[in-house]
Chains A and B, each alone.
Chain A
């Protein structure tokens, strides 16, 4: 695998540089359900540096959305408890009052969701909704807010914003609504944007526009991005680091390039190999046997054990997120001895040829 150049420049600095913007430590969320208390996520540890773009990946139900929501303390009604710390620029959100959180949300951290229609209020114009966010958090005048809104709509690529600013959400296409959501989330200049599957509902050509916009905005305004997605391609296009979750836990944390080329956790490796992009056309696709254990019956020890082809004696012990060197972390005690295949292995013909000529 030594043929390609090393990991993208800049990613290392993000890790070892100044203190992180966001530092999540031991985060866990519990819910009340008819069957008792469920631990939906636990022992979540990660950092995001100022301006860094981090992808959170994993399959449905592994806890990505819950993690995003819990950072903002936007938890559903049957929420039963939160463990750990959420340190943002020195403040622990876990011990902030609801009022303090309201002042932070939208201003210093913003979040956008998969379905922009449900996040926009159908009875107000898009201009009003964006300007309101600004007026809630700052003491700008109505005119200033409107001027800033126009500027922001232009910034997110809405053509002729002076015509669109007084439109209602239903008058816009899906891609335009997502741009409006991005405009609303950025209007107060947040330090962190949490985007939960922001392009899943969009067509691939529109997805490419939105991802380009997110990348561009994070680069020019130094806004950190936490991008939640199940699509490893989206992460590879947009982020520099990738955090993989499984069954409510972080199981791997590495730069995108490291994770794709040489994953350290058997689950990450399995996911990569199951992608049709990377296996020869018409060949058999590898898959991961079994299914994610349900929250109600989580096994003790390694949560991936029942599906892992490398499971042995020792895997029934609780797995810690281990330091794998160079800022990488992995929740598998066997990581050093397993030589797991990544995206380029076994090298498919066109991909291998491309690497070899570089």
Chain B
């Protein structure tokens, strides 16, 4: 997964500017600021990871990226163009290039449809070729994800979780997308087969030149497969940079705490005792804290953090952070967690 690194200066496949997504609560009394001012580019051919705890806004960003929901403010450009400015028909065609896959393969597959019928469905909706041509493409997609042809005639309940997730991937591939948003796609899979599915994503990227936005709460997964990773907290990015940098030289106190909280399957001789246990839980996105949103749990918070929103700045080349004190030389140097190998 290194195609992107070679050409960092081409037009980004996605650019996100000041993105905001708001929801009304079900009683319509309050507004949830699910995504509140996020900026980033996704480079062609890369895997862009987004990590964060539940409710931080990862899924909302993912859905906005493929226009399953519209931004409340800000802009999302695909290949430099604004899809919302296209005609209805052009927009429908355009959307095929940007697909999303979710965590639960059971929810994505109709239990009464055969696997082949499920994979054919998007081709039929898009009226691609004639029926023979559609079947050829669907079977090719099944083959791509490593499922034997006879699986086409089976039903979802006859497949394992990993196999069902492969079918969902095959479905997304039929329309030959340029980018796939993968939202917690391995979270529901058993650990012995997670590797298979992650390897499949890597193979497809290499063979088809795909770009991924990989959303997960699992640090080990994100640092395994992404070139760059963004850390999200309460609707905002707090840090963004090359995976190695973020995992080994994190700049934001939240990233540092997140890395330290991750349970590691290491023997006692290799684990460090000085883990940072954050107090409390993530505050409500209805009424987030003033200033820095992390200040209610930050071990380094100062009065300034209450009064002023930290600027989103590029502290090191390609490595962005939003914290007033991230450039202080003695900023929690000992609290630096052990790196994820």
What residues of chain A have their CB less than 8 Å away from a CB belonging to chain B? 4-5, 7-8, 59-60, 173-176, 203-209, 211-212, 230-237, 256-257, 260-261, 270-272, 274-282, 284-288, 291-292, 343-344, 348-351, 354-355, 358
Contact = CB atoms under 8 A, between A and B. Distances in A.
Interface in B233-281: 243-244, 257-258, 260-271, 275, 277-279, 281
A88 to B, nearest CB: 29
A212 B264 contact: no
B31 interface: no
B195 to A, nearest CB: 3
Given A203-B54, A284-B199, A349-B341, A272 B265 contact: yes
A280 B202 CA distance: 14
Contacts of A284: 195, 199, 202
B224 interface: yes
B265 A260 contact: yes
B194 A257 contact: no
A10 to B, nearest CB: 11
Contact of B282 (A7, A203, A237): A203
Q: A interface, by DSSP: helix, strand, loop or mixed? A: helix
Given A236-B265, A260-B265, A350-B339, 16 more contacts: A4-B269, A173-B281, A203-B53, A203-B282, A204-B261, A204-B262, A205-B297, A209-B277, A234-B263, A274-B195, A275-B191, A276-B220, A282-B225, A285-B199, A287-B194, A354-B270
B264 A286 contact: no
B90 to A, nearest CB: 36
Contacts of A208: 260-261, 263, 275, 277-278
Contact of B341 (A4, A230, A286, A350): A350
Given A173-B281, A212-B277, A287-B196, A207 B261 contact: yes
A156 to B, nearest CB: 14
B223 interface: yes
Contacts of A235: 265
A271 B191 contact: yes
B160 A291 contact: yes
B302 interface: no
A284 B200 CA distance: 10
Contact of A236 (B219, B267, B340): B267
A174 B264 CA distance: 23
Given A209-B277, A276-B221, A288-B193, A343 B267 contact: yes
B341 A280 contact: yes
A261 B340 contact: no
B162 interface: yes
B1 A282 contact: yes
Contacts of A175: 281
A175 B297 CA distance: 15
A230 B196 CA distance: 18
A203 B265 CA distance: 18
A257 B269 contact: yes
Contacts of B277: 205, 208-209, 212
